[in-house]
Amino acid sequence: MTQTADTPIADLRSQLRGEVVDADAPGYDESRRVWNGAIDRRPLVVARCLDEADVQAAVRFAVEHGLEIAVRGGAHSMSGASVVDDGIVIDLAAMNQVTVDPATRRAVVAGGALLGDVDAATQAHGLAVPAGLVSHTGVAGLTLGGGMGWLTRLGGLTIDNLLSVRVVTADGQVRVASESESPDLFWAVRGGGGNFGVVTEFEFALHEVGPLIHYGLLFWSLDRGLEMLRHVRGVIDTLPDDVNVIVGAISAPPAPFVPEQHRLSPGYATIVVGTGTAESHADVCAALAGGVPPLFEFTTPMPYVELQKMLDDANGWGLHCYDKGCYVTELSDEVVDALTTHVPEKTSPMSIVLLYRLDGAFSRVAEDATAFGGGRSPRFGVFVIGVCPSPELLPAERAWVRATADALRPAAADDGIYVNSMTEFDAVSSVQAAYSPGKYARLVEIKTTYDPDNVFHRNANIVPALP
Ligand SMILES: Cc1cc2nc3c(=O)[nH]c(=O)nc-3n(C[C@H](O)[C@H](O)[C@H](O)COP(=O)(O)OP(=O)(O)OC[C@H]3O[C@@H](n4cnc5c(N)ncnc54)[C@H](O)[C@@H]3O)c2cc1C
């Protein structure tokens, strides 16, 4: 796609209710900033849309002037897909309204909302959408890739709770997609990322959750990793439906509940979240601690909205990051060996490995019901994330992420990759490898129908078929 330097931005300003920010406008630097501090790009213009008509006008303008489009929801994509050099950023941040109908247990969420916006509105009624762990993540990018977090075992992926979307496609038209209307498009947006257009509205089914949940953190030192991982896998295999466990190689938080001498020490943890009774949560914590005694443990009831914000500060804007992911079907000896060999070699204390448990409601959804990149058999979603505070430290963390991901590869499931865990696409973790051959072929077909010229390509790109 060609880019033009003399684009009539004044035209665009006259068509939008929202602000149009170019390099000469105050606030330009703020408007091009994304979550990953390693990304620094200079768009020609940022269209801060206020409503669906603004989005339509921005898409039409971009296509007419041959401008490359980046669509921005919460700006958390590791690769910086939501900002583009010399092109147009279609920014939905101001479109963050959430409306909840407690009677039908449904929420309508505008395309630029953050997870925290949804949690605040839904928890007012004791309801929730299963989503991610950090409240400043965007609903749009997270949902379009799949969406996994504390409620995945209880309610499935975020896409498993999606009822309909409104999408502005490459021709500037608004399309509604659901099981009964444009079902092909509805299938594709549930896992196929931002390939099919700009989603201006999501409608979700809600689950009863909270307002209080049960939280537990159990932490082991680095040298107990092998024994601890071998023990916890047995407990995780038999979890009740109302408890979820994320296993992590993390540093102990500098929190008051952590004994002072252990704060910021590297090690392994299980984070245990119960949405049912205190007893079932306590039983799981006791079983996890029962094999290899943790260095410390902490359990408490807490509001669900607080749980959702607990990791916000540790994952603040401006950190320099690089991520790679895979699925493993079990914490086999091979996986445990790969982790315990590589985790001690990270140089930044902020770098982490997280293993999200995916079973229960996640596995009750048919493999081909959505375009999700990955199978539905019980498994762990593994994220290896290099995180550091400054650019000069990133090359070492990137090398560590790659080495750890390479070591896990022989044990990885070969039925897909979670597109939201990919920072870049290479020969091994290509977009094609993210989907089963059948899903990929169907995605190409639907992409060719709705976006034949590949207008929306700053994503895990599905390339349309040639005419
Ligand atoms: C701190 C942090 C925590 C995370 N935690 C989790 C987690 O717990 N669970 C999980 O599943 N994932 C998690 N992720 C990964 C996250 O799902 C992806 O980074 C996701 O892409 C973020 O969405 P966004 O809207 O914030 O990002 P953006 O960068 O704005 O967008 C991401 C992609 O979606 C496209 N897009 C954005 N908005 C729209 C829209 N309205 N219509 C069409 N396309 C759009 C963009 O063009 C881009 O390709 C986390 C990421 C970070 C950085």
Ligand 1 centre to CA of 188 (Å) is: 16
Question: How would you classify the pairing of strands 296-303 and 379-388?
Answer: unpaired
pLDDT of residue 427: 57
Q: Are 227 and 306 contained in the same domain?
A: yes
Tell me, yes or no, whether 438 lies in a domain: no
On whether the CB atoms of residues 107 and 65 are closer than 8 A, the answer is no
CA-nearest of 227, 219, 314 to 269 is 219
- d(C-alpha 317, C-alpha 328), whole Å: 29
pLDDT tens, residue order, the chain (467 aa): 444 445 589 999 999 999 999 999 999 999 999 999 999 999 999 999 999 999 999 999 999 999 999 999 999 999 999 999 999 999 999 999 999 999 999 999 999 999 999 999 999 999 999 999 999 999 999 999 999 999 999 999 999 999 999 999 999 999 999 999 999 999 999 999 999 999 999 999 999 999 999 999 999 999 999 999 999 999 999 999 899 999 999 999 999 999 999 999 999 999 999 999 999 999 999 999 998 999 999 999 999 999 999 999 999 999 999 999 999 999 999 999 999 999 999 999 999 999 999 999 999 999 999 999 999 999 999 999 999 999 999 999 999 999 999 999 999 999 999 999 988 776 556 899 999 999 999 999 999 999 999 999 999 999 999 87
Tell me, yes or no, whether 157 lies in a domain: yes
Q: Are 329 and 298 contained in the same domain?
A: yes
pLDDT of residue 426: 64
Ligand 1 pocket residue status of 62, Cβ below 6 Å: no
Of all protein residues, the one whose alpha carbon is nearest to atom 45 of ligand 1 is 194
Tell me, yes or no, whether 1 lies in a domain: no
Place of tokens 């696409």: 425
Q: Are 228 and 200 contained in the same domain?
A: no
Q: Are 148 and 228 contained in the same domain?
A: no
Ligand 1 pocket residue status of 244, Cβ below 6 Å: no
pLDDT of residue 4: 46
Q: Are 264 and 380 contained in the same domain?
A: yes
Of the candidates 54, 75, 91, which is a domain's last residue? 91
- Among 77, 97, 307, the mutation site with the greatest number of ligand 1 atoms within 8 A of its Cβ is 77
Q: Are 116 and 66 contained in the same domain?
A: no
pLDDT of residue 466: 85
Ligand 1 pocket residue status of 439, Cβ below 6 Å: no
Burial of 30 (0-12, 13-18, 19+ CB in 10 A): exposed
CA-nearest of 392, 393, 417 to 405 is 417
Ligand 1 pocket residue status of 248, Cβ below 6 Å: no
Of all protein residues, the one whose alpha carbon is nearest to atom 44 of ligand 1 is 194
Q: Are 388 and 354 contained in the same domain?
A: yes
Of all protein residues, the one whose alpha carbon is nearest to atom 49 of ligand 1 is 459
What is the atom index within ligand 1 of the atom nearest the CA of 111?
41
Tell me, yes or no, whether 437 lies in a domain: no
What is the atom index within ligand 1 of the atom nearest the CA of 132?
8
Tell me, yes or no, whether 388 lies in a domain: yes
Which three-class secondary structure state does DSSP give residue 2?
coil
- d(C-alpha 186, C-alpha 256), whole Å: 46
pLDDT of residue 467: 77
Ligand 1 pocket residue status of 274, Cβ below 6 Å: no
Ligand 1 pocket residue status of 210, Cβ below 6 Å: no
245: number of Cβ within 10 Å:
24
- C-alpha angle with apex 337: 334 to 341, nearest 5 degrees? 145
Ligand 1 pocket residue status of 111, Cβ below 6 Å: yes
- Among 136, 137, 380, 382, the mutation site with the greatest number of ligand 1 atoms within 8 A of its Cβ is 137
CATH number assigned to the domain comprising residue 282: 3.40.462.20
Tell me, yes or no, whether 69 lies in a domain: yes
Ligand 1 pocket residue status of 134, Cβ below 6 Å: yes
248: number of Cβ within 10 Å:
20
- d(C-alpha 5, C-alpha 110), whole Å: 32
Of all protein residues, the one whose alpha carbon is nearest to atom 28 of ligand 1 is 75
Buried residues in 57-87 as b, exposed as e (16+ CB within 10 A): bbbbbbbebebbbbbbbbbbbbbbbbbbeeb
- What is the number of structural domains in the chain? 3
Q: Domain span at residue 412?
A: 212-421
pLDDT of residue 429: 61
Tell me, yes or no, whether 381 lies in a domain: yes
Record the pTM.
0.97
Q: Are 199 and 217 contained in the same domain?
A: no
On whether the CB atoms of residues 436 and 416 are closer than 8 A, the answer is yes
Ligand 1 pocket residue status of 315, Cβ below 6 Å: yes
**Tokens read off for 200:** 């201006």
pLDDT of residue 7: 57
**DSSP letter assigned to residue 465:** P
Ligand 1 centre to CA of 139 (Å) is: 7
- d(C-alpha 217, C-alpha 257), whole Å: 10
Which neighbouring-strand residues pair with 387?
A: 321
Q: Are 322 and 412 contained in the same domain?
A: yes
Q: Are 269 and 304 contained in the same domain?
A: yes
What is the atom index within ligand 1 of the atom nearest the CA of 311?
1
Q: Are 128 and 172 contained in the same domain?
A: yes
Which three-class secondary structure state does DSSP give residue 373?
coil
CATH number assigned to the domain comprising residue 69: 3.30.43.10
Which neighbouring-strand residues pair with 266?
A: 251
- d(C-alpha 451, C-alpha 196), whole Å: 6
Q: Are 372 and 407 contained in the same domain?
A: yes
Of all protein residues, the one whose alpha carbon is nearest to atom 33 of ligand 1 is 141
Query: Which residues contact residue 406 at a Cβ distance below 8 angstroms, ignoring those fewer than 6 apart?
Result: none
Place of tokens 């977009």: 431
Ligand 1 centre to CA of 131 (Å) is: 11
CATH number assigned to the domain comprising residue 167: 3.30.465.10
Tell me, yes or no, whether 4 lies in a domain: no
